[in-house]
Structure 1
Amino acid sequence: MKKYLPLLLFLLLTLPGFAQKSATAYFISGNTKFKAGQFAEAIKDYDAVLKRNPKHVVTLTNRGVAQDRLLQYRAAIADFTKAIALAPDYAEAYLSRGFSRYNLKDYRSALLDYNKGIALAPENAKAYNNRGLAYYGLKDFSGAVADYTKAIALNSTYGAAYYNRAAARYRLGDTKGACADWTKAKALGIKDAAVSLKNYCK
């Protein structure tokens, strides 16, 4: 028995250090769970990061996005707002808050966030597509078409932008342009485009 005693003491002394996960480990774990669609579990890991480092802007933003995915829009907005207060030039926080505000149908506030986010990240195709959604919500279909067109210019295989532009063009009375966009969206794998083609492009 005596010959095993030093090893046993070593394990007892070092176990607490092994049991304590670092903020980095929780952050990586949270991101892994987020990518797997385990948003509630990801939030728990992000909580652990923020307990150790409450000013970690990326974690605040990631937790906000996870909360948005769980339809907890106001909690998400609170996280994005904290991130913006800590890092006023962090484009992703503005763009993410814009999307949560869009989900609450607060289109005008969403537009303001998208404007700021796009000013900070002018080459972000998704940002233009999402701002187009806000314009569409405000019934500014010309503004929506302009943003979807910019998104497509930045990413020519952006199927959702073609699909969304088609809807805005249709509302503007441009059936030919809408049908061309739905055809392109279908070719890029947007399944709902086939339904629109059947219903509106006979």
Structure 2
Amino acid sequence: MKKFLPFILFLLVSITAFGQKNAKDYFVSGNEKFKAGKYAEAIKDYNQVLKLEPKHAVTFANRGVAKDRLLDYRGAIEDFTQAITLNPKYTEAYLSRGLSKYNLKDYRSALLDYNKGIELNPKDAKAYNNRGLVRYGLKDYSGAIADYDKAISLNTRYEEAYYNRGAPKYNLGDTAGACADWTKAKQLGVKEADQYLKKFCK
């Protein structure tokens, strides 16, 4: 009977390897569907990955982003939380969870996530821009401007940060500064800036 043992072991190894390959295939397929904007289909693939690899933090995070795109913010937050539980230093999961909380207008909780994400990666211009949105939601206009300033210092052609910075400046009475930011945003390609320029910068 012993002579059959290596064959059985080989068979078990093959099945295990095949299972891992399957998880990778589903993961790649899910990412491709996500990039194509097929979020519901991507989620189905990510579900299959997690059946095979239930502790794959990146898949939880990716599925969370797909749920966020489908406006399932609470489902997204659950996935990001699971990703963070598996990897407490997962910067993107904190930042993504912050955005889903922002979408639910849970600004105070979103701020905590952005603070943590920025603590883990203080060079992420997008994180400062998005935290600026959260601070604007909290009516902390000076704090919002400081975040947009930081985002622009990290990326001088960050059109969204210029566009976003205009609103808190306007609310603080700095009309000239607001109009300068909206003008810059328009030059960089933000078409929405035009309506603010026409309405507030005559």
Both structures adopt the same fold (TM-score exceeding 0.5) = yes
Is 1:155–2:155 an aligned residue pair? yes
Match of 2:50 in 1: 50
- Aligned partners of 1:140 and 1:186: how far apart in 2? 25
- Aligned partners of 1:106 and 1:39: how far apart in 2? 24
- Aligned partners of 1:161 and 1:104: how far apart in 2? 21
Match of 1:60 in 2: 60
- Aligned partners of 2:182 and 2:60: how far apart in 1? 37
Is 1:70–2:70 an aligned residue pair? yes
- Structure 1's consecutive aligned runs of 4 or more residues displaced over 4 angstroms after TM superposition are none
1:132-171 to structure 2, matched below 5 A, reads 132-171=132-171
Match of 1:8 in 2: none
AA in 1 matched with 2:123: E
Match of 2:11 in 1: none
- For normalisation by structure 2, the TM-score amounts to 0.89
AA in 2 matched with 1:148: Y
- Aligned partners of 2:179 and 2:124: how far apart in 1? 26
- Aligned partners of 2:104 and 2:21: how far apart in 1? 36
Identity within the alignment, %: 71
Q: Which runs of 5+ in 2 are unaligned?
A: 1-16
Q: Which runs of 5+ in 1 are unaligned?
A: 1-16
Q: CA deviation at 1:104?
A: 0.4
Is 1:27–2:34 an aligned residue pair? no
- Aligned partners of 1:55 and 1:167: how far apart in 2? 42
- Aligned partners of 2:90 and 2:33: how far apart in 1? 23
Q: CA deviation at 1:90?
A: 0.6
Cα RMSD of the aligned pairs, angstroms, is 1.4
Per-residue CA shift, 1:117-146, capped at 9, x if unaligned? Answer: 000011111100000011000000000000
Q: CA deviation at 1:21?
A: 6.3
- For normalisation by structure 1, the TM-score amounts to 0.89
- Aligned partners of 2:138 and 2:132: how far apart in 1? 10
- Aligned partners of 2:146 and 2:201: how far apart in 1? 22
1:69-148 to structure 2, matched below 5 A, reads 69-148=69-148
